[in-house]
Amino acid sequence: MAGSTTPLRRAPIPAPRDVVELLKPITWFPPIWAFVCGVVSSGVPVGERWPFLIAGIALTGPLVCGTSQAVNDWFDRHVDAINQPERPIPSGRIGGQWGLAIAVFGTLLSAAVAWATGPWVFAATLLGLALAWAYSAPPLRLKVNAIWGPGAVALSYEGLTWFTGAAVMAGALPSGQVLAVLLLYSLGAHGIMTLNDFKAVEGDRLTGVRSLPAILGIDRAARIACATMLLPQLAVLGLLLAWGMIATAGFVTLLVLGQLWAMRRMLGDPQARAPWYNATGVAMYVTGMLATAFGLGSAA
């Protein structure tokens, strides 16, 4: 752990490849997907909004999401020393306080870009950044709570990025229909975040992180995660039918039925099959998000 305690001035400047690894580009895909859902749901042609579109993609991916990864890895360096000691900070490849410096710089840069993009995007970005710090940093450290931790990530990754996409295109507050749907899909994403906690159960128990798998066991947590993913989608279906979007509701129904099949298979061995479910059931979940966005955009 010497790499985490050496003063910044004595630690070598991190290699670019290690900084990129810290920002975890693979994690940028979910928020960018939700951002695209927001863009589509707005119903606004891209037209002359290209500069705002590019700024929004940068915000939701490398800036806000990347910053959240740096914040999390800095404050989780002791947990990672148990679960994933090969990561840049616990391994010493990003030594001293460089991890914290990268997180602070990313926060400031994200806020600056959001300010230039518009007031609603700026507000959503500030909330996302606040949740990123509250999730990992004391005294709040929301991640130690089985409800608030996954909820903060789900809202940031799905709801706020969807909101950003819609606000970037409209240049205004998104419609009530868009807000209702993005909130429901954010709620369902809480279950996805719970499934992601399965890979760190041992480290969570040793360090006092009270994730659902750590306090309830993997089987019970998996059932709760499935219900959490399913119920908001049923509410979305109800709204689509109420709004007369019959074709969209039919397609989303097929995706929900596919998830039910995948859930049943996953529940046979949740710990072993959670990665498989992420490649099947979660893929159907996010496809339903995009299909719903197209329905909203077409009706706008």
* pLDDT, tens only, 89-103: 999 999 999 999 999
What's the mean per-residue pLDDT of the chain? Answer: 92
Whether residue 36 is predicted with pLDDT greater than 90 in this model: the reply is yes
Residues 172-196, mean pLDDT to the nearest whole number: 95
Residues 260-272, mean pLDDT to the nearest whole number: 95
* Region label for 64, one of left (φ > 0), alpha (ψ between -120 and 50) or beta (otherwise): alpha
Residue 206 pLDDT: 66
Whether residue 266 is predicted with pLDDT greater than 90 in this model: the reply is yes
Residue 146 pLDDT: 87
Confidence category of residue 229, pLDDT binned at 50, 70, 90: very high
Contact 77, 99 (CB under 8 A): yes
Residue 296 CB neighbours (<10 A): 28
Residues of the domain holding 190 = 2-299
Residue 2 pLDDT: 43
Q: What angle do CA 152, 137, 85 make, to 5 degrees?
A: 100
Residue 216 pLDDT: 85
Residue 213 pLDDT: 81
**Closest by alpha carbon to 129, among 99, 108, 101?**
108
Confidence category of residue 267, pLDDT binned at 50, 70, 90: very high
Confidence category of residue 202, pLDDT binned at 50, 70, 90: low
Number of domains forming the structure of the chain: 1
- Convert the pLDDT of each residue in 119-175 to its tens digit: 999 999 999 999 999 999 999 999 888 899 999 999 999 999 999 999 999 999 999
Whether residue 5 is predicted with pLDDT greater than 70 in this model: the reply is no
Whether residue 203 is predicted with pLDDT greater than 50 in this model: the reply is yes
Residue 1 pLDDT: 42
Whether residue 3 is predicted with pLDDT greater than 50 in this model: the reply is no
Residue 271 pLDDT: 86
Per-residue tokens: 85: 């000691």
Whether residue 88 is predicted with pLDDT greater than 70 in this model: the reply is yes
Confidence category of residue 7, pLDDT binned at 50, 70, 90: low
Residue 77 pLDDT: 92
For residue 154, give the amino acid letter. A
Contact 227, 191 (CB under 8 A): yes
E-strand spans in 89-166? none
Confidence category of residue 269, pLDDT binned at 50, 70, 90: very high
